[in-house]
Amino acid sequence: MSPWSYSVYSPSQVRELDQRAIAHLDISGYELMCRAGQYAFDMSLARFTQARHWLVLCGSGNNAGDGYVIARLARAAGVEVTVVAVTDPLRLKGDACKAFEDFRAAGGETQAYDPVSCPAGDLVIDAMLGTGIDRDLEGAYFAAVNGVNLSGKPILAVDMPTGINGLTGEIMGAAVRADVTVSFVGLKLGLFLADGLSHGGELLFDDLGIPQSVSADMLPGLLLFGAQNLAALLPVRESGSHKGMFGHVLVVGGNYGMAGAARMCGEAALRAGSGLVSVATREANVAAILSGRPELMVRALEDAADLNDLIARCSVIALGPGLGRDEWAQQCFSRLVRVDKPKVLDADALNILAEHPQHRNDWVLTPHPGEAARLLGVSVAEVQADRLSTVKALQSRYGGAVVLKGHGTLIAGEQSVPFVVNGGNPGMATAGMGDVLTGVVAAILGQTGGLQVPAAAAAYAHALAGDKAATEGERGMLASDLLPYLRSVLNP
CA dist 77 and 176 (Å) reads: 27
CA dist 294 and 474 (Å) reads: 29
CA dist 343 and 148 (Å) reads: 49
Percent of the chain with pLDDT over 90: 88
- 306-341 pLDDT, tens digit each: 999 999 999 999 999 999 999 999 999 999 999 999
Q: What is the predicted pLDDT for the residue at 84?
A: 97
Contact 254, 285 (CB under 8 A): yes
Q: Describe the crossing of helices 348-355 and 369-376 by its angle, rounded to 10 degrees.
A: 10
CA dist 413 and 408 (Å) reads: 16
Name the residue among 155, 151, 154, 157 with its Cα closest to residue 63. Answer: 157
Q: 111-115, 158-162, 168-172, 291-295: which has the minimum mean pLDDT? A: 111-115
Q: What is the rounded average pLDDT of the residues 100-115?
A: 95
Predicted confidence (pLDDT) at residue 212 exceeds the cutoff of 90: no
What are the boundaries of each domain within the chain? 3-223, 228-489
Q: What is the predicted pLDDT for the residue at 436?
A: 99
For all residues of the chain together, what is the average pLDDT? 95
Q: What is the predicted pLDDT for the residue at 4?
A: 46
Q: What is the predicted pLDDT for the residue at 5?
A: 56
CA dist 460 and 334 (Å) reads: 30
Please determine whether the domains at 3-223 and 228-489 fall in the same fold group of CATH.
no
Q: What is the predicted pLDDT for the residue at 216?
A: 84
Q: Residue 260: what are its φ and ψ, rounded to 5°?
A: -60, -35
CA dist 436 and 458 (Å) reads: 10
- 223-272 pLDDT, tens digit each: 999 998 998 898 888 888 899 889 999 999 999 999 999 999 999 999 99
Query: Beta-strand (E) ranges in 273-337?
Result: 276-281, 297-300, 316-319
Q: Does domain 228-489 match CATH 3.40.50.10110?
A: no
Residues 6+ apart with CB under 8 A from 221: 8, 9, 10, 13, 189, 388, 417
Q: What is the CA 302 to chain-centroid distance, rounded?
A: 40
Q: Is the pTM of this model over 0.75?
A: yes
Predicted confidence (pLDDT) at residue 1 exceeds the cutoff of 50: no
Give domain 3-223's CATH number out of 3.40.50.10260, 3.40.718.10, 3.90.1150.10, 3.30.70.270: 3.40.50.10260
Predicted confidence (pLDDT) at residue 2 exceeds the cutoff of 70: no
- 30-40 pLDDT, tens digit each: 999 999 999 99
Q: Describe the crossing of helices 61-76 and 29-47 by its angle, rounded to 10 degrees.
A: 60
Residues 6+ apart with CB under 8 A from 55: 82, 84, 118, 119, 120, 121, 123, 124, 125, 153
Query: Beta-strand (E) ranges in 162-315?
Result: 180-184, 187-188, 202-206, 222-224, 248-252, 276-281, 297-300
The size of the chain, in residues, is: 492
Q: What is the predicted pLDDT for the residue at 391?
A: 98
Q: What is the DSSP letter of 299?
A: E
Residues 6+ apart with CB under 8 A from 396: none
Q: What is the predicted pLDDT for the residue at 238?
A: 87
